[in-house]
């Protein structure tokens, strides 16, 4: 995979996969079936603990199934009862954090796509002595909100990596599609692209309505005749943008962030030029494992710094290998 020089060093953590568990996203604040301990394989010889994983996942986004699968595998190894809940609405996600506090969990892993909505309730968690880690979104504010580390990709640098790649390949007029306005990570991705390709345009769409995504992007491509590449910030969005390119009769190429098996296949087929993978399985796995390590020995992975799980470039040169893992649900 392509390598980039990052302005801050990543902390490397060793992860040994054991047993993959099947998973699907939980929505609307309802807890999923507790994960951990049910799979074959050796379980840690420590007392059972309870960990809440609370994300801003939207219905149908396969990215979060991969995050959850990593968390469930760590739970199985670490003798953890995993409580997974999610809600894309910031206020309801904050309520889920409060619910976890009320349940007296031993640790909380949370995404910080909308940090202002979560800061007060996370203070309640840390005041109650509950260790917190963040994942996926909110790296820049994670420590301020009480998390002892963050697992994810630096989104600004990921965007710059995409912009650098596009510029090197001669693209001059990207359209960067943001499916949730105000999401700090998505905004940072497009800002990073624009830093390297200044003519980049931002297109906001409603990521909860794929029909609207398709029609909005089609209209944009019909109007912006000089657009030479359109960038999706998640696999389901990117797969929809492929339809928009066809509908618009556009010659624009398609690039992406994130990954699932269908997107990996499109890269193998040449329909998508590349994607930037932030390795979400690792984000879920390491979030749960780090909270278990904190409970069993007071260990604080990361030394107060974010632990980077990406980005890595997946293109036609390596997509066939990545596809095999994506089909297993671990990429």
pLDDT at 262: 93
Query: Who's near 259: CB < 8 A, 6+ residues apart?
Result: 235, 275, 277, 314, 322, 326, 331
Mean pLDDT of 116-142: 95
Neighbours of 259 (CB within 10 A): 30
Number of neighbouring beta carbons within 10 Å of residue 28: 12
How far apart CA 115 and CA 131 sit, in angstroms, is 17
Mean pLDDT of 202-231: 96
Which of the two residues, 138 and 93, has the higher pLDDT score?
93
Strand 312-315 and strand 274-277: the pairing is: antiparallel
Strand partners, 150: 134
- Across 165-169, average pLDDT: 97
pLDDT at 60: 78
Report phi then psi at 85, rounded to 5.
Answer: -135, 160
Q: 267: Cβ–Cβ under 8 A, 6 or more apart, which residues?
A: 273, 274, 275, 314, 315, 316, 319
pLDDT in tens, 57-113: 988 788 899 999 999 999 999 999 999 999 999 999 999 999 999 999 999 999 999
In the predicted model, what is the mean pLDDT of residues 109-124?
A: 95
- pLDDT higher than threshold 50 for residue 223: yes
Confidence (pTM): 0.74
CA angle (141 as vertex; 66, 67 as ends), nearest 5 = 5
Rounded Cα distance between 82 and 50, Å, is 6
Q: How confident is the model at residue 32 (pLDDT cuts 50, 70, 90)?
A: very low
Q: What percent of the chain has pLDDT over 90?
A: 70
> CA angle 244-248-254, nearest 5°?
50
Task: Judge whether residue 285 has pLDDT over 90.
Answer: yes
Structure tokens given for 11: 């902390």
Indicate if the pLDDT at residue 280 is higher than 70.
yes
Statement: residue 17 has pLDDT above 50: no
pLDDT value at residue 210: 94
Of 121, 65, 69, 72, nearest to 93 by C-alpha is 121
pLDDT tens for 291-307 read 999 999 999 998 888 99
CATH architecture, range 155-277: 3-Layer(aba) Sandwich (3.40)
Contact in structure between 106 and 82 (CB atoms under 8 Å) = no
Supply the pLDDT for residue 302: 86
Question: Rounded mean pLDDT of the chain?
Answer: 87
Phi-psi region of 17 (alpha: psi -120 to 50; beta: other; left: phi over 0): beta
Q: Give me the residue spans of the domains in the chain.
A: 155-277
pLDDT of residue 29: 44
Question: How would you classify residue 49: left for phi > 0, otherwise alpha for psi between -120 and 50, otherwise beta?
Answer: beta
Of the listed ranges 129-133, 219-223, 282-286, 296-300, the least confidently predicted one is: 296-300
**Region for 60 from its dihedrals, namely left if φ exceeds 0, alpha if ψ lies in -120 to 50, beta otherwise:** left
Check whether 15 has a pLDDT greater than 50.
no
The Cα–Cα gap between 110 and 149 comes to 11
pLDDT tens digit sequence for 173-210: 999 999 988 888 899 999 999 999 999 999 999 998 99
């Amino acid at each position: 995979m392509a390598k980039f020089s990052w302005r801050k060093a990543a902390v490397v953590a060793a992860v040994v996969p054991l047993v993959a568990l099947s998973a699907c996203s939980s929505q609307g604040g309802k807890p999923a079936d507790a994960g951990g301990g049910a799979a074959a394989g050796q379980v840690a010889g420590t007392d059972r603990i309870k960990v809440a994983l609370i994300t801003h996942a939207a219905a149908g986004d396969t990215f979060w199934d991969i995050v959850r699968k990593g968390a469930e595998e760590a739970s199985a190894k670490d003798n953890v009862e995993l409580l997974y809940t999610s809600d894309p609405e910031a206020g309801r996600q904050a309520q889920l954090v409060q619910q976890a506090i009320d349940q007296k969990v031993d640790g909380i892993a949370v995404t910080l796509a909308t940090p202002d909505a979560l800061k007060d309730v996370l203070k309640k968690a840390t005041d109650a002595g509950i260790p917190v880690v963040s994942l996926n979104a909110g790296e820049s504010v994670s420590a301020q909100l009480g998390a002892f580390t963050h697992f994810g990709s630096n989104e600004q640098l990921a965007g710059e990596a995409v912009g650098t790649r596009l510029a090197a390949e001669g693209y001059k007029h990207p359209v960067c599609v943001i499916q949730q306005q105000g999401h700090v990570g998505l905004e940072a991705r497009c800002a990073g692209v624009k830093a390297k390709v200044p003519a980049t345009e931002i297109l906001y769409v409603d990521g909860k309505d794929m029909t609207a995504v398709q029609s909005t992007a089609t209209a944009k491509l019909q109007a912006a005749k000089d657009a030479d590449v359109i960038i999706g910030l998640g696999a389901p969005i990117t797969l929809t943008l492929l339809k928009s390119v066809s509908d618009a009769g556009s010659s624009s190429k398609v690039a992406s962030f994130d990954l699932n098996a269908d997107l990996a296949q499109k890269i193998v087929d040449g329909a998508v030029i590349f994607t930037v993978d932030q390795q979400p399985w690792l984000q879920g796995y390491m979030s749960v494992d780090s909270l278990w390590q904190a409970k069993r020995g007071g260990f604080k992975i990361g030394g107060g710094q974010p632990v980077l799980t990406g980005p890595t470039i997946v293109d036609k040169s390596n997509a066939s290998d990545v596809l095999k893992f994506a089909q297993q649900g671990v990429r």
